[in-house]
């Protein structure tokens, strides 16, 4: 059940990115997608407190990578 909700949330984020019209909104949506993806990936690791830590680290890493991807993708579209 939880995995289905996560997948629905990620799909919603991806689709909402299609409607983004400004550069900053596009960057924010891509970064948010990275955060969610990182959290989901981190949640698959460990158990108990280790799982919580892995989820938190996954979110932070996903946000960082999502931001980097957003900068490259949106800046590339502007050229």
Question: For position 60, what pLDDT does the model report?
Answer: 92
Full DSSP string of the chain:
-HHHHHHHHHHHHHHHHTT--SHHHHHHHHHHHHHHHHHHHHHTS-STHHHHHHHHHHHHHHHHHHHHHHHHHHHHHH-
Domain boundaries, the chain: 22-78
23-74 pLDDT, tens digit each: 788 888 888 888 888 888 888 888 888 988 998 999 999 899 988 888 888 7
pTM value is 0.68
Using the predicted structure, report yes or no on whether residue 77 has a pLDDT greater than 80.
no
**Residue 8 φ/ψ, nearest 5 degrees:** -65, -40
């Amino acid at each position: 059940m939880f995995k289905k909700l996560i997948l629905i949330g990620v799909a919603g984020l991806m689709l909402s990115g299609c409607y983004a019209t400004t550069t900053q909104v596009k960057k924010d949506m891509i970064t948010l997608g990275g955060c969610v993806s990182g959290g989901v990936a981190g949640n698959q690791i460990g158990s108990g407190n280790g799982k919580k830590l892995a989820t938190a680290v996954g979110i932070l890493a996903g946000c960082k990578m999502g931001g980097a991807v957003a900068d490259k993708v949106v800046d590339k579209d502007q050229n």
